Amino acid sequence: MVRLPRLIGRGRTLEVLLAADDINAELADLYGHVNRALPDAELDGFIDALAIRTEVIAETLASFPSDADIRPESEAFRPASQKGIEALMEGGFHRPGDADYVDQIAADGAAMRRTAMARTRQLGEAIFRSILPEEIEWKPFSAFPPSARLAILVGEPSKPGPYLIRVKVPSGVKLMPHKHPEDRIYTVVSGVFYIGMGERFDGDKVNAYPPGSVIVLPGDTWHFHWAKSGQYVTQVTGIGPLGLEYFDGADDPRQQINRPGA
């Protein structure tokens, strides 16, 4: 009697009890008092089919691993979001003051993002600044011919990270076949930039690029330069550390400096 209101509702329970009438199968099925109402002719077939399905399901379930076997794997592949929810619960997310707790989480996350952004600033790029042409400091570079100059504008080419440099080569000077380990992007600032590909210098195979041209040079590509028609200035961007290796060591100014009697 205690379960009857949960099955068919309080109102129908009162009707059944107070009326004291017999309830046929169709009405019991309609009220939800029984699972199913079937004609006598169909009852045996339905029970047989149900028994077979129940047996198959029982055998299938018996073939599944036990909870003890599944638990280690399920723990290993538990979504990170579920662990995050558990952390929120442990922190009191389900108790009074939840809104303040969420606000604090958001504030902490924003602070972490700001800290991460501050830490990812590249060398020489942390603050706004400008470099005017007259402020550029041109210096000799040991791997260049003595008259060529290099200026570091942004970053530190000798260290890992992005860098921006400019190279100035006087008229007639050649940079013999060499390569760089890093990928480079050249922009011609002034003059005409002549560059050729290969392990041997060939003045007939250089290509001329006027001011404003952009040249993409993959790392480890043998190439050579020539200030054929006058002085040129190029701007070079890459990801350090910068490297320069001559194909023929005899063309490397660093080797010439270290030679006895030089």
Query: Per-residue pLDDT tens for 96-151?
Result: 555 555 566 666 666 666 665 555 777 778 889 999 999 999 999 999 999 999 99
Res 5: pLDDT: 77
Pick from 35-39, 104-108, 208-212: least confident = 104-108
pLDDT-derived band at 48 (thresholds 50, 70, 90) equals confident
How many residues does this entry show for the chain? 262
Question: Rounded to the nearest 5 degrees, what angle is found at the Cα of 208, between the Cα atoms of 219 and 247?
Answer: 40
**Confidence band of 41 (pLDDT split at 50, 70, 90):** confident
Residue 200 has pLDDT above 90, yes or no: yes
Cα separation, 164 vs 154, in Å, equals 5
- Tell me if the bond preceding 145 is cis, omega within 30° of 0: no
Mean pLDDT of the region 165-191: 98
Q: What is the mean pLDDT of the chain?
A: 82
| Whole-number Cα distances in Å, 6 to 3, 24, 32, 147, 241 | 5, 20, 10, 98, 77
Q: Report d(CA 140, CA 56) in Å as an integer.
A: 86
First to last CA, the chain: 113
Which pLDDT does position 252 carry in this prediction?
Answer: 97
In words, the CATH class of domain 138-258 is mainly beta
For residue 207, pLDDT over 90 is answered with yes
Q: Quick check: helix, strand or coil at residue 82?
A: helix
Domain boundaries, the chain: 4-63, 138-258
User: Could you tell me how far CA 251 lies from the centroid of its own chain?
Assistant: 42
| Exposure class string for 212-240: b at 16+ Cβ within 10 A, else e | eeebebeeeeebbbbbbeeebbbbbbbeb
